[in-house]
Amino acid sequence: MINSLGNNIRAFRKNKGLTQEELADLLNITPQAVSRWKSAVGMPDVSMLIPLAQTLGVSTDALLGYDMIREDDEVTARIRKTVEEMFVDKDRAGSKLKMCEYLSTETNIHPGNYEIIKDYVQEVASLSMYWDDQLEGCYKDQNDHILSIFKDSIKKGTYLISHSVDRDLIERTHYAIAWIYIHMKDFDNAREHINVLPSLTSSSHRDVLEMEALYFEKGFEKMKEEIDRKNPQLFGAVAHHLYCVSQNYGWWGQKEEAVQVCSWIDGVIDAFVSIPEAVDKKDYLHLKIMNAFHKMTALSKAGENDEAKKVYEECVNKINSLNEFTDDMKADAIEMLNHEIEYYGKYSK
């Protein structure tokens, strides 16, 4: 009990970004008292539990660990394998609905498994794209059922946000819920979740400070190690942004500006891959093929199918020329590009 409470206090404190000294100041106690809580040496007095919970922004049940049901890795792996096997590329909308229905049931059975709740909300966010009339407009005869799934996933995602101490899970869930609200055209609630996420103007602050602190503490060589570790993460963030730009210009922009933007994106990502260790290979290949596909979409919508075929051939040749990538990775990327053309090509004509 002592160790569990101490660990929970430490996790919630770190999630709030508080040092031991700052938490002590807020509670009007000594830093030494807070320090003792993380070991078996001592635990807070009962009278401290409510002020502690209020300061850390959690319930007393969460603080004591009563609502933190242990997650079973085997259960998580089983559920994820089942979901993966449900996906059928030629029936994406139908299989996505089955996946969400299955995850809705599993999250009822395992309400403390935050990983699966996060997966559920993410899959429902994807489902909302297929449902949206501005995009694919599927499930027209199941509207009430789809909306009930949206409501269920938002409720469970909100529970995760309120109770989990894992910042990454919380942010991913905020992101997915925002997408659900966007496709429901509930933009006020979407922005409630968007506004708590890191932005381009703030997300780099922590990383810069971490690297600088490492330099002043341990020197440039250690800082270089951190830079090398961060570079693929930086590319992942850039890739996410550029994918959104490419997708929207390709589908909704004028052909000339879409081609220009997609060509610029190609140059950006190829500049990154000139230092192979600076990119996550899967992120690079995914962005490479999708940017080509979005460029092809713009050309096809303008009736320039021969130009679209040239873009396809250039992309395939580029991928096959990448010596740092395995043959399997290249083949998988090209297969994915072919699937996108087969599935979404009907919308670009």
Q: Which segment, 23-27, 201-205, 315-319, is predicted with the most confidence on average?
A: 315-319
Residue range 10-32: average pLDDT? 83
Residue with the two structure tokens 């990502």? 269
Q: Residue 309: pLDDT band by 50, 70, 90 thresholds?
A: very high
User: Tens digits of per-residue pLDDT, 39-93?
Assistant: 656 677 777 888 888 888 777 777 776 654 455 688 899 999 999 999 998 899 9
Gap between the Cα atoms of 195 and 297, Å rounded: 32
Residue ranges of the alpha helices (H) in the chain?
2-15, 20-27, 31-37, 49-56, 60-64, 73-86, 92-109, 114-131, 143-163, 167-183, 187-194, 204-218, 220-252, 255-273, 281-301, 305-320, 327-344
- CATH for the stretch 2-64: 1.10.260.40
Whether 100 and 153 have beta carbons less than 8 Å apart is answered as: yes
Spans of all domains in the chain:
2-64, 73-194, 204-348
Gap between the Cα atoms of 60 and 47, Å rounded: 12
User: Tens digits of per-residue pLDDT, 127-183?
Assistant: 999 999 988 999 989 999 999 999 999 999 999 998 887 889 999 999 999 999 999
Q: Residue 1: pLDDT band by 50, 70, 90 thresholds?
A: very low
Cα dist from 322 to 274, 275, 280, 281, whole Å: 10, 12, 14, 11
pTM, rounded to two decimals: 0.71
Gap between the Cα atoms of 285 and 292, Å rounded: 11
